[in-house]
């Protein structure tokens, strides 16, 4: 089962990566912290110290068009913030 869906690459996460050695990932909703830790260690070959997780619920969105109001929802997801051991880094841009 694939645990990690994609890394979170934003300015805020880049700052956390440089200062506190933390990296963010969008993971499947049923994954627990031990599974996330194991998946990151296997995929990137690093030592993980801690894993913090957050569940985001989907938001309702609406917009006005010529045909009227269109309503929908954004999808819900789970995000994991992984703290690596001292001296470890993850380079997301290495294979571009």
Mean pLDDT of 79-92: 93
Structure confidence by residue, pLDDT tens digits, 29-77: 999 999 999 999 999 999 999 999 999 999 999 999 999 999 999 999 9
- Please, what CATH class does the domain formed by 4-84 belong to? alpha beta
Q: Assign residue 68 a region: left if phi > 0, alpha if psi is -120 to 50, beta otherwise?
A: left
Of the candidates 17, 85, 7, 9, the one whose C-alpha atom is nearest the C-alpha of residue 48 is 85
Q: What are the extents of the domains in the chain?
A: 4-84
pLDDT value of position 92 = 83
Q: Please check the confidence at residue 78 and state whether its pLDDT lies above 70.
A: yes
Query: Helices H, strands E: what count in the chain?
Result: 2, 6
Predicted model pTM: 0.86
pLDDT value of position 19 = 93
φ and ψ of 8, to 5 deg: -90, 115
Q: Indicate the pLDDT class of residue 1, thresholds 50, 70 and 90.
A: low
Of the candidates 40, 51, 53, 48, the one whose C-alpha atom is nearest the C-alpha of residue 86 is 48
């Amino acid at each position: 089962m694939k645990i990690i869906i994609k890394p979170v690459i934003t300015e805020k996460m880049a700052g956390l990566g440089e200062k506190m050695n933390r990296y963010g990932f969008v993971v499947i909703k049923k994954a627990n912290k031990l599974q996330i830790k194991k998946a990151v260690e296997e995929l990137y070959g690093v030592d993980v110290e801690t894993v913090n997780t957050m569940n985001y619920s989907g938001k309702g969105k609406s917009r006005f068009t010529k045909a009227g109001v269109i309503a929908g929802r954004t999808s819900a997801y789970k995000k994991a913030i992984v703290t690596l051991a001292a001296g470890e880094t993850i380079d997301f841009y290495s294979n571009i």
